[in-house]
Amino acid sequence: MPWVLLGLVALAGIGLYLLVYTAAQASLQAERSGAVPPQPGTEEAMTDLLRQIRPASVQSFGVGLVSGIGSVMLIIFAASHVGTEFGWGTLRTLLAHGAGRATFLGAKLLSIAGFGVLFIFVGVVAATIGSYLATTIAGGDTSGVDPGAISTAAARGYYTFLPYMALAALIAVVSRSAGAGIAAGLIVYFAEGLVTSLLVQLNRDFANIVNYGLSRNASALTRVAVTTSASPETNFAALPGEGQAAIVLAAYTALFVALAYWRLRTRDITLG
């Protein structure tokens, strides 16, 4: 699975850039040739899109792309990485041969975290390559790559993965199943984001509450990275501050890890 996920993010990183370029070009050409009736603002939007896929904007567009895919893929990876040990029965074998439960979980979480680093690295490199390819084909400006900004944005994106990976691992430990860990992890990921966006619309009190949730704090960290480069968000002020976001995400990660350890430590490892 790790190689498959790395292959997918590499393909996605390059492929989506080319796809966006192709779609934007097709839209522009269709409008210019009269094949579709001209819509006000379309040309500007497509031109802006082509500008965003330039290497100078990898830290916003490319990293955002990889982060979006990464959250889902790393939830799948984390749940599988832990859950399959129950499914295969290898956890029993390892423990029976003297492995400690804390050692086992620690090794698992470290390898998940390490894979996350590799994943985002591969994804960002692929996105940068995709950006160069698409911009070269478009005849655009390929200069202005900012490795520092890309690294910072990637680090922020990676940081937002941590609680989701820890949550997926926790659910896999509790359910003793990779499938349940994946399903529950993805449900929490998507549902919390959806509910949060609805509650934020209702009133400020709800917004204050959901500002201690995962998705708002993850957005706060990643959108800071985005807004520093190009596109400020109109609702940016409603998001928690960077410091709070970092602390809240760290607290969730620590909580999920602690719960996973507690459950594994107290659980009987039986056949069923």
Select from 11, 99, 117, 198 the one that contacts another protein (CB under 8 A).
99
Residue 256's nearest CA partner among 190, 195, 193, 181 is 181
Amino acid at 255: L
Helix (H, G, I), strand (E, B), or coil: what is residue 13?
Answer: helix
Given 29, 93, 201, 228, the residue binding another protein (CB under 8 A): 93
**Structure tokens belonging to residue 36:** 């579709």
For 12, the 3-state DSSP assignment is: helix
Q: Which region, judged by CB under 8 A, interacts with another protein, from 11-19, 53-61, 94-102, 239-247?
A: 94-102
Question: At closest approach, how far in Å is the CB of 145 from another protein?
Answer: 38
Compute the least distance from the CB of residue 123 to another protein, in Å: 24
We find the least distance from the C-beta atom of residue 91 to another protein, in angstroms, to be 8
On whether the CB atoms of residues 221 and 249 are closer than 8 A, the answer is yes
Which residue, 58 or 264, is less far from another protein as judged by CB?
264
Of residues 28, 72, 94, 183, which one binds another protein by CB under 8 A? 94
* Sole binder of another protein in the list 96, 143, 148, 234 (CB under 8 A): 96
Q: Rounded to whole angstroms, what are the CA distances from 225 to 167, 214, 220?
A: 24, 17, 9
Cα radius of gyration (the chain): 21
Segment near another protein (CB under 8 A), from 89-97, 111-119, 127-135, 247-255? 89-97
Least Å from the CB of residue 46 to another protein: 46
Return the half-sphere exposure (C-beta side, CA atoms, 13 A cut-off) of residue 26: 6
Residues lying near another protein in the complex (CB under 8 A) are found at: 88-90, 92-100, 266, 268-271
